[in-house]
Amino acid sequence: MAQILMKGNEAIAEAAIRAGCRFFFGYPITPQTEVPEYMSARMPEIGGCYLQAESEVAAINMVYGAAGSGVRVMTSSSSPGVSLKQEGISYIAASELPCVVINVMRGGPGLGSIQASQGDYFQATKGGGHGDYHLIVLAPSSVQEAIDLMGTAFDLADKYRNPAMILADGIIGQMMEPVELPEMKEYKVDPEKKPWAATGWKPGDKKQRAVINSLYITTEELTELNERLQARYAEIEKNEARWETYNMDGAEFVIAAYGTVSRICKAAIDELKQEGINVGLVRPITLWPFPKQAVRDAVMADGVKACLTVELNAGQMVEDVRLAVNGAKPVEFFGHAGSLMPTAEEVKEQIKRMREE
């Protein structure tokens, strides 16, 4: 298939449709607004449903309703809007429903800025709403990867009956890149595959009536739900960690970075190589499950002196990197909170400083 030039947000929307998503509920907020805009034009063309909700709170609850019917459904927003969705996301996770949530992150806290950020890493990977739960969190570093991960997100959500999040920074959403789109996929709700879905029931039916619910009033029942969820999370951690490594051969240092920041780090690594300094990169693609082993293996490789984690925030993923390395080697952090993108020059300076120490 031929490559076409597409803006990240629009590519995300089209990729969702091609993954079989026919239901979208959202609310405008920069820098993700092109997602609902695109959906509002595209969904009617293919007999899908685009609905502008009255708020992000309503949008995520509409997602809950549609997800309970078994269809492929998604919502998208940016940081302040995703904060509003947290109540609903917790209910969806607890009700064991699949759906996809997009967060095209902008600067925070508060109303913050409309520039790119990675400030919602903690919120996305540690739960976000109340209770013990996890989202499957995928972090693209290019528009093409955002497209590819959309299909993965829907498949994983269905496979594990768990909400999945695409955590992109504002640059991925706003940038245009040449991409290849996957084939269009139709998704039919199969009551055999989703026996829990509310697809209609009458007395005498073989299956039980659907009860989509997250209330478990006795400690025994709630413990049982939590044990079921934790067992599922363990399964996801075992099977679904995704990452990329770059220039690891003979590396003196390893950089850990994800999303757009990882591309800046790659540029820094290429330039350092010209200067005879070998630095590797480990780039988590799934932020949850965090690719612990891969990060640890990269940092623990022979010849690697230390790790530098670079983020577009005040230092969030670095905590997971430190947990993975568990004190075996130094893990440093470099980044800016407030949407000021770290430059390749700055990353190079950091590596050079670490070399001298």
Partner 1 sequence: MAVVFEKTKMLTDAVFHYCPGCTHGVIHRLVAEVIEEMGLQEKAVGVAPVGCAVFAYNYFNCDMFEAAHGRAPAVATGIKRSRPDACVFTYQGDGDLASIGAAEIVHAAHRGEKITTIFVNNAIYGMTGGQMAPTTLVGQKTTTSPYGRDEAWCGKPIRVSEMLATIEGAAYIERVALNTNANIIKAKKAIRKAFECQMSGKGFAMVEVLSTCPTNWGLSPVEAMKWLEENMIPYYPLGVFKDKTKEGE
Residue 16 has a CB neighbour count (10 Å cut-off) of 30
Site string for partner 1, 159-198 (x = CB under 8 A): ---------------------------------------x
**Given the complex with partner 1, which of 38 and 91 has the nearer CB atom?**
91
Pairing type for strands 279-284 and 331-335 reads unpaired
- Provide CB contacts within 8 A for 60, sequence distance 6+: 25, 75, 84, 85, 87, 88, 89, 92, 101
**Does 67 participate in binding partner 1 (rule CB under 8 A)?**
yes
How far lies 121's CA from each of 43, 135, 314, in Å?
A: 30, 12, 11
Per CB under 8 A, 66 contacts partner 1 = yes
Q: Where does residue 84 rank: exposed (0-12), middle (13-18), buried (19+ CB within 10 A)?
A: middle
Nearer residue to partner 1 within complex by CB, 203 or 276: 203
Segment contacting partner 1 by CB under 8 A, of 105-113, 204-212, 297-305, 343-351: 204-212
Query: Which one among 200, 228, 234, 352 touches partner 1, defined by CB under 8 A?
Result: 200
Residues constituting the chain: 357
* DSSP labels, 109-151: STT--SSB--TTHHHHHS-SSSSS---EEE--SSHHHHHHHHH
> Binding to partner 1 (CB under 8 A): which residues in 95-154?
95
What tokens were used for 88?
A: 């609903």
Of 178-186, 207-215, 270-278, 310-318: span binding partner 1 (CB under 8 A): 207-215
Nearest in space to 13 (alpha carbons), one of 134, 104, 125: 104
Name the residue among 285, 290, 357 with its Cα closest to residue 325: 290
| Stretch in the footprint of partner 1 (CB under 8 A) among 5-13, 160-168, 211-219, 237-245 | 211-219
Nearest to 167 by CA among 122, 212, 133: 122
Closest CB to partner 1 among 110 and 203?
A: 203
- What is the Cα Rg of the chain in Å? 21
Token digits for 212? 């989509």
Residue 10-29 contact track with partner 1, rule CB under 8 A, x = bound: -------------x-x----
CA–CA gap between residue 345 and residue 67 (Å, rounded): 46
Rounded least distance, CB 88 to partner 1, Å: 7
Q: Is 63 or 229 the residue whose CB approaches partner 1 more closely? A: 63
Does 234 contact partner 1 by CB under 8 A?
Answer: no
Q: Does 212 bind partner 1 (CB under 8 A)?
A: yes
Determine the interface stretch with partner 1 among 67-75, 169-177, 179-187, 303-311 (rule: CB under 8 A): 67-75
* Residue 4 binds to partner 1 (criterion: CB under 8 A): no
- Sign of the CA dihedral 47, 51, 56, 58? negative
Kindly identify the residues of this chain, within the stretch 25-64, that bind partner 1 according to CB under 8 A: 25, 49, 51, 53-55, 57-59, 61-64
If one asks whether residue 84 binds partner 1 (CB under 8 A), the answer comes out as no
Residue 86 touching partner 1 (CB under 8 A): no
Q: Which is nearer to partner 1, 24 or 258 (CB)?
A: 24
For residues 284 and 137, is the Cβ–Cβ distance under 8 A?
no
- DSSP assignment of 1-69 equals ---EEEEHHHHHHHHHHHTT--EEEE---TTSTHHHHHHHHHHHHTT-EEEE-SSHHHHHHHHHHHHHT
Stretch that binds partner 1, among 6-14, 66-74, 256-264, 322-330 (CB under 8 A): 66-74
Site size toward partner 1, by CB under 8 A: 38
Nearer to partner 1, 88 or 107 (CB): 88
Question: Interface residues with partner 1 (CB under 8 A)?
Answer: 23, 25, 49, 51, 53-55, 57-59, 61-69, 71, 73, 87-88, 91, 95, 198-203, 209-215
